């Protein structure tokens, strides 16, 4: 499933084609994805100007002139792809429609935004913009890891006394929003913390060190266009490249990249998810 860097990358790719542009027609080609679409979604989108795009955790939000916001979740295999030439720089023909093109937004600037989702685990919803933070999918989320509300004091307080593994704690969206398996594994390696360590037994100093490390890992991943392991594509269809710099994720049996370390990366399963780590560099 796309994590924060992948969703941020897609949002940034959509912004030039959607921000300030009008949706002249919305084609909704099925009644649902993971959940039913909102009532008359096509009619509520058609004719609306997109005021801005923003991201909350792993969700993209398009704020509309109508006072509603379109919430987009990519699910396991969802893609938001841009075709056409909204900036007047190139000539790109629109591709032929595909079987899993479930929602298509035709923009007044000539762009076409296609939501393609073969597995149909994605989702879309509409809500009042002023009450978006109260939406059932957003209200439970913790602070953004790249925002000002995610800081050392918050993380220390959130982990105090918790006996769950630190890996599980960082995946808890109520503690910090948007982190997933890949980037938690990478951050814990850089911090030298074993994924099975009890969160509440890690010193405040080491917990505090996680904040800038998490920010750095995410920033590097966004700069690289995210990580493409299976289905993920950027909005222009290109792959992300951060997977080529993974230190631990997916590298079971490969040599640790820490200078002077002679051990190999190991894998354990935590709550049904694989955790990758170095047994000597992470304690």
- Are the beta carbons of 159 and 206 closer than 8 angstroms? no
Q: Which of 2, 86, 143, 165 is catalytic?
A: 2
Q: Which of 25, 34, 120, 273 is catalytic?
A: 273
| Phi and psi angles of residue 199, each rounded to the nearest 5 degrees, phi first | -60, -40
Is 105 in a helix, a strand, or coil? strand
Angle (nearest 5°) at CA 217 between 264 and 261: 25
Q: Which of 5, 6, 8, 58 is catalytic?
A: 58
Q: Is 58 a catalytic site residue?
A: yes
Whose structure tokens read 């360590």? 197
Angle (nearest 5°) at CA 23 between 21 and 27: 150
For residue 121, what are its two tokens? 């685990």
208-213 long-range contacts, CB within 8 A, separation 24+: 208/152, 208/155, 208/156, 210/155, 210/170, 211/150, 211/151, 211/152, 211/155, 213/187
The dihedral through the CA atoms of 118, 137, 159, 55 has a sign that is: positive
Can you give the length of the chain in residues?
283
Q: Is 56 a catalytic site residue?
A: no
| Half-sphere CA count of 44, side-chain side, radius 13 A | 18
CA pair distance 243, 249, nearest whole angstrom: 8
Q: Is 3 a catalytic site residue?
A: yes
From residue 186, alpha-carbon distances to 26, 32, 198, 220 in Å are 39, 35, 18, 11
- Among residues 64, 21, 83, the alpha carbon closest in space to that of 235 is found at 83
Q: Is 233 a catalytic site residue?
A: no
Q: Which residues are catalytic?
A: 2-3, 58, 273
């Amino acid at each position: 499933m796309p994590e924060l860097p992948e969703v941020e990358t897609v949002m940034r790719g959509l912004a030039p084609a959607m921000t300030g542009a009008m949706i002249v027609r919305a084609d909704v080609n099925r009644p649902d994805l993971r959940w039913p679409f909102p009532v008359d979604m096509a009619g509520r989108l058609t004719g609306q100007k997109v005021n801005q795009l923003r991201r909350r955790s792993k969700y993209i939000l398009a704020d509309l002139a109508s006072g509603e916001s379109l919430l987009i979740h990519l699910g396991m295999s969802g893609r938001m792809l841009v075709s056409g030439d909204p900036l007047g720089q190139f000539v790109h023909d629109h591709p032929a429609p595909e079987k899993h093109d479930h929602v298509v937004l035709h923009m007044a600037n000539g762009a076409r935004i296609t939501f393609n989702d073969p597995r149909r685990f994605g989702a879309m919803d509409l809500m009042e913009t002023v009450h978006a933070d109260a939406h059932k999918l957003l209200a439970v989320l913790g602070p953004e890891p790249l925002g000002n509300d995610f800081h050392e004091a918050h993380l220390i307080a959130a982990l105090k006394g918790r006996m769950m593994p630190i890996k599980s704690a960082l995946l808890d969206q109520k503690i910090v929003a948007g982190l997933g398996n890949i980037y938690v594994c990478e951050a814990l390696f850089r911090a030298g913390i074993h994924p099975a360590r009890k969160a509440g037994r890690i010193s405040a100093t080491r917990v505090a060190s996680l904040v800038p490390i998490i920010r750095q890992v995410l920033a590097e991943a966004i700069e690289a266009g995210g990580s493409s392991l299976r289905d993920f594509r950027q909005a222009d269809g290109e792959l992300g490249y951060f997977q080529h710099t993974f230190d631990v994720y997916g590298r079971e049996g490969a040599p640790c990249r820490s200078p002077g370390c002679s051990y190999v990366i190991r894998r354990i399963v935590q709550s049904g998810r694989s955790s990758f780590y170095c047994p000597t560099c992470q304690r």
